[in-house]
Chains A and B, each alone.
Chain A
Amino acid sequence: MTSPVLELRGLNKSFGALRATHDVSLAVMPGQLHALIGPNGAGKTTLIQQIYGAMPPDSGSILLNGRDITALKPAARVRAGIGRSFQISNVLMDFTVLENGIIAEQARQRAAFTFLQPAFTDPSLIAGAKIILDRVGLLARANQRVANLSHGERRMLELALAMAASPSLLLLDEPMAGAGPEDSRRMTEIIGALHKDVAILLIEHDMDAVFTLADHITVLVEGAVIAAGTATEISANDDVKTAYLGGDPQ
């Protein structure tokens, strides 16, 4: 039995009377693509924020590769092995694609605090940046300014930056949001290829993508887990149908 990459134990978070996270426990296994679905307002993003460290839970604990990271700040969690994409595409807009890769590479090397040698012409950084960009097929666009990229390409770049430090867990917050059908298809393809190297926790509204990609699905409603299982189990689950179709079980 292998141990999970990410484990949540009895996580709770309330905003006043609203219980945004209600006793959530789940485990993401190595190599697993774990999808988190649920209707709007189910508390998916709140949960991701707690895993990432941007929001402290009221109680419960978060373990990454068996290590308790509940008290760590986001940057420290990234160094511990979490990579993430954001709901709104989040890259360094004022730079070229290659420069984005270079800044990610120097962060990966944990050597960003030097003052002398220029970074953007450093051969060791350029080489690393190219590897980072190649993973999502953006190498050909390396010298483009990010402002000139399409929405889909920016999403790819963000994925590349999130993967730069070879994290053990990738948090993807609606990677298909705002993408056209062609971009969604490519994104699905790339996420499918990535997850051989990394465990992924995916929030997504695009159900086609979720059912194509996910090995395991957890359904969140009003902050609590109401069902968990494989895609076939979830699509046959009556509670899930009720939650999605609006409380009318015939």
Chain B
Amino acid sequence: MTHPARKPTLIRLFIDSVMAHRLLWALLGLFALFPIVTIIFDQPFWNDIAMRIMVLGMAAMGLNLALGYGGMVSFGHAAFIGIGAYSVGICDYYGLTNGWAHFAISMAVCAGLGLVIGILSLRTSGIYFIMITLAFAQMLFFLFVSLETFGGDDGMSIDRADFLMIDLYEPLRLYFLIWLVLVIVASFLMFIVHSRFGVTLRGIKSNEQRIEAMGLTPLHYKITAYVISAVICGIAGTLFANWQEYVSPDIMHWTRSGELMIIIILGGLGTVAGPLLGAIVFLLLEEFLPELLHLFAPAYAENWMIIFGPLLVVVVLFGRGGISGLITTYMPKKSDQQVRHD
């Protein structure tokens, strides 16, 4: 190894890190350029799909820190997306329309709630952990169903937040706000997973007993990762509400927690780019499979899940490491170490 003894600069670290995550940055680059495609083909609707992919991909990236890196199978992360979305709705209701304030409130509430739920749930593991996180999420779901002030079951429509200089109703403003936040979240995760904290977390997933026998307290690392993942899902929820201009308890339905897990497994568990890739494939299939089916077998267009389901099974069975695993296997590799980084 030929590493200089002095501490590398932040810029050097960033460049090294980007080089080790080429797949991730290629995807982020594609999203930056995608609006050009929609302009050329005059299909502004495509931007809507891209925004949905980025937001759900971001949430899945957050969950992946707990699930893929920490081995904590949380079945309740949709609740944090919901909290993030309702932060916009409820603040709006009381006249607070500043988007930055929405972000701050969403992050703070998700951190606090993530800490409480994390401390309580992480006393258990395995199937009990899955059930307890689901139970907490269902509690929050029914809480919002019962809150008539905020629309109850029907939800509430909201105006896009006020970001001072940026008017989110102008074309592409929201698109690039989402893109920018996604880049920040991705950079943050890219650093975390290779940091001392990150490798300890992966060590805990591999063998919690050994990490404890090294004198570290695994629970501290797991709770920290859980809280970070909750906050990222909250941020995604806040963006989701602005995109949809509407929020209802549906956003935190338990099926969305499952959807996030499918996205992660599809894209590649425990990789930074995986969840984003998974979100692209998952949501594109969800969007275009019915249309495709409509062309070939119109009578079955509504039953597109009959094809979707087996497709997921095939990827999970034969593509260990998900789609990103397949890509890194067939991409030219620099060294053995590099392979595992995307």
**A and B associate in one complex:** yes
Q: Which residues of A contact B (CB under 8 A)?
A: 73-76, 78-79, 83-84, 86, 90-95, 99, 102-104, 106-108, 110-123, 125-126, 143, 161-162, 164-165
Q: How far is the CB of B204 from chain A (nearest CB, A)?
A: 9
Q: Quick check: B1 and A164 within 8 Å, CB to CB?
A: no
Q: What residue in chain B is nearest A99 (Cβ atoms)?
A: B199
Q: Quick check: B214 and A107 within 8 Å, CB to CB?
A: yes
Using A94-B206, A99-B199, A114-B197 as known contacts, say yes or no to A75 and B212 having CB atoms under 8 A apart.
yes
A106 to B212, CA, bound (A): 13
Which residues of A sit under 8 angstroms from B215, Cβ to Cβ? 75-76, 78-79, 107-108, 110, 165
B191 within 8 A of A: yes
Interface range on chain B (Cβ under 8 Å from partner): 35 or more
Q: Quick check: B210 and A90 within 8 Å, CB to CB?
A: yes
> Which residue of B4, B195, B202, B213 contacts A117 across the interface (Cβ within 8 Å)?
B195
B206-249 CB mask vs A (1 if < 8 Å, else 0) is 11011111111100110000000000000000000000000000
Q: How far is the CB of A5 from chain B (nearest CB, A)?
A: 17
Interface contacts beyond A93-B206, A103-B203: sample of 18 additional A-B pairs, CB < 8 Å, sorted by A: A73-B217, A86-B209, A86-B213, A103-B199, A104-B214, A107-B200, A112-B216, A113-B220, A117-B7, A117-B13, A117-B195, A118-B194, A120-B194, A122-B196, A123-B1, A123-B5, A126-B3, A161-B213
Q: Quick check: A74 and B210 within 8 Å, CB to CB?
A: no
Q: How far is the CB of A87 from chain B (nearest CB, A)?
A: 11
B99 within 8 A of A: no
Q: Quick check: B196 and A113 within 8 Å, CB to CB?
A: yes
Q: Quick check: A118 and B213 within 8 Å, CB to CB?
A: no
Using A78-B215, A123-B1 as known contacts, say yes or no to A115 and B197 having CB atoms under 8 A apart.
yes
Q: How far is the CB of B193 from chain A (nearest CB, A)?
A: 9
A112 to B198, CA, bound (A): 9
Using A112-B197, A113-B196, A115-B191 as known contacts, say yes or no to A93 and B207 having CB atoms under 8 A apart.
yes
Q: Quick check: B214 and A78 within 8 Å, CB to CB?
A: yes
Which residues of B sit under 8 angstroms from A75, Cβ to Cβ? 212, 215-217
Which residues of B sit under 8 angstroms from A112, Cβ to Cβ? 196-197, 200, 216, 221
Q: Quick check: B1 and A126 within 8 Å, CB to CB?
A: yes
Which residues of B sit under 8 angstroms from A83, Cβ to Cβ? 213
A-B complex: 10 closest residue pairs judged by Cβ atoms: A78-B215, A107-B214, A118-B194, A94-B206, A79-B215, A119-B199, A119-B196, A123-B3, A92-B206, A112-B200
A103 to B214, CA, bound (A): 9
B177 within 8 A of A: no
A161 to B212, CA, bound (A): 12
Q: What residue in chain B is nearest A111 (Cβ atoms)?
A: B196
> Which residue of A95, A108, A113, A164 contacts B197 across the interface (Cβ within 8 Å)?
A113
B192 within 8 A of A: yes
B98 within 8 A of A: no
Q: How far is the CB of B180 from chain A (nearest CB, A)?
A: 21
Which residues of A sit under 8 angstroms from B17, Cβ to Cβ? 118
A196 to B303, CA, bound (A): 72
A84 to B217, CA, bound (A): 16
Q: How far is the CB of B221 from chain A (nearest CB, A)?
A: 8
Q: How far is the CB of A82 from chain B (nearest CB, A)?
A: 9
Q: How far is the CB of A60 from chain B (nearest CB, A)?
A: 23
Q: How far is the CB of B205 from chain A (nearest CB, A)?
A: 8
Using A90-B209, A123-B5 as known contacts, say yes or no to A161 and B202 having CB atoms under 8 A apart.
no
Q: What residue in chain A is nearest B188 (Cβ atoms)?
A: A115
Which residues of B sit under 8 angstroms from A122, Cβ to Cβ? 196
B1-23 CB mask vs A (1 if < 8 Å, else 0) is 10111011010010011000000
A120 to B217, CA, bound (A): 21
Could you jot down 13 A-B contacts, CB within 8 Å? A76-B215, A90-B213, A91-B210, A114-B195, A114-B196, A114-B197, A119-B195, A120-B194, A122-B196, A123-B1, A126-B1, A143-B336, A161-B210
